[in-house]
Amino acid sequence: MSVRRDLVGEQPLLAGIAAPDLDADAFLPVHPGAAAYFNGTQESFFDRYSNLIYMTPMVLGALASIFAAAWRFLGVRAKDAAAAPTDLLCDLSARIRQAGDEAALAALEAEIDRMLHVGLAIILAFERMADPPAGLGELFAGGGEGTARTIDAGLRRGKSSAIPKDAAP
């Protein structure tokens, strides 16, 4: 409506243009969206849905946490994933005693090598962290600084002499 003053000088017929009557009982009712525009009370998308946008992730996160806690409380787990690595190590000695031939012992040796490589990968990952949990390297490798790297390098070359004397059980 501010441009109207400039245009009235050029076109005198435009002087008859005026803002619509915004009353509810007007002869021609104004569309609610046009009334909001003329009144300056028009809401943007974020004005209208900001609470929903804000609350939805919070509610979904809370529901996911509740679901995860219930899943853990009920003890729903895969049967294979339930066996802890310490259980596998404890069962390993009995399986070694029951091995009847060299082929079975070779298969058990390969399994031990796989377990060792997984453990060493965990140790190396924690050593590369800025602040590893206290005593984790000594727990797995039984040695001090760099012992896990020395053991891993020796296993990659296939030499058992790479295991330091202080890492022996």
User: 145: which 2 tokens?
Assistant: 């600084």
Residue 57's pLDDT band (boundaries 50, 70, 90)? very high
End-of-domain residue from the set 57, 76, 95: 76
Residues 114 and 137 in one domain: yes
Q: What is the mean pLDDT of residues 40-53?
A: 87
Domain of 64 in residue numbering reads as: 48-76
Residue 140: name the closest of 160, 165, 107, 117 by CA: 117
Residues 91 and 163 in one domain: yes
**Per-residue confidence (pLDDT) for residue 164, from 0 to 100:** 47
CA distances from 105 to 96, 115, 119 (A): 7, 15, 21
How many structural domains are present in the chain?
3
The answer to whether the beta carbons of residues 35 and 26 sit under 8 Å apart is no
Q: Taking the model in full, what pTM does it have?
A: 0.34
